[in-house]
Amino acid sequence: MSAKPKLYYFAGRGKMESIRWLLAAAGVEFEEEFLETRDQYEKLLQGGSLLFQQVPMVEMDGMRMVQTRAILSYIAAKYNLYGKDLKERALIDMYVGGTDDLMGFILMFPFLSAEDKEKQCATIVQKATSRYFPVYEKVLKDHGQDFLVGNNFSWADVHLLEAILMVEEKKSDVLSGFPQLQAFKARISSIPTIKKFLEPGSQRKPVPDDKYVETVRRVLHMYYDVKAN
């Protein structure tokens, strides 16, 4: 296995993007192998690399890891982005879980019909502004610290910034009523490793396009229509 983590996924965001974000935040260089054909996917399946017959898959520290949450937890713990004790870890898990719920509304967006995309866009903005962002706004206001947990940079901060930027792609002024989150976004974006990842030419992936959708459908044999939440 490579000395650097090696990521197996499509040349797009999907479930792998949060893994890219967390590795980048930790300052860890990584390699990627993009799945473009069904044969590549079948080879991984036949070789036993995909424990549950699905990607993302990451080769790291002599392991072939699947299941996005397990991969993220390992990276966070390895690079000291998972709190200093069990209580902080529980808070990080809680905030990451909430952010995951919001990001779930965005994950399948590229696969929707034009009509469903319009409906889903409204749902994403509504959920973000009425259910999720108010939670983080209150957390930051109540404890008056720079980060979500323990006043230390953690996985929770990385995940929230990723989600904020994704929702802003649907509505650019979505943070207009959240001054704490506006300041949080500026603060986290200026962290050197994050700033580097946000610059053009990084391994951060763009908004999914039709080519990405076509590739995923072809490789995974996704011939059914995805419905909006």
Q: pLDDT category, 2, cuts 50, 70, 90? A: low
**CATH topology of 6-79+198-220 equal to that of 86-190?**
no
pLDDT of res. 160? 98
- What CATH number does the domain located at 86-190 have? 1.20.1050.10
Residue 223 predicted with pLDDT over 80 = no
Q: What DSSP state is assigned to residue 7?
A: E
Residue 226 predicted with pLDDT over 80 = no
Q: pLDDT category, 134, cuts 50, 70, 90? A: very high
Counting runs of H as helices and runs of E as strands, what totals does the chain give?
10, 4
pLDDT of res. 176? 97
pLDDT of res. 99? 97
Q: Round the average pLDDT of the chain to a whole number and report it.
A: 95
Distance CA 53, CA 143 (A): 43
Domain boundaries, the chain: 6-79+198-220, 86-190
pLDDT mean over 142-160: 97
Could you confirm whether domain 6-79+198-220 is CATH 3.40.30.10?
Answer: yes
Q: pLDDT category, 222, cuts 50, 70, 90? A: confident
Residue 224 predicted with pLDDT over 70 = no
Give just the sign of the alpha carbon dihedral 111, 113, 116, 117. Answer: positive
Residue 112 predicted with pLDDT over 70 = yes
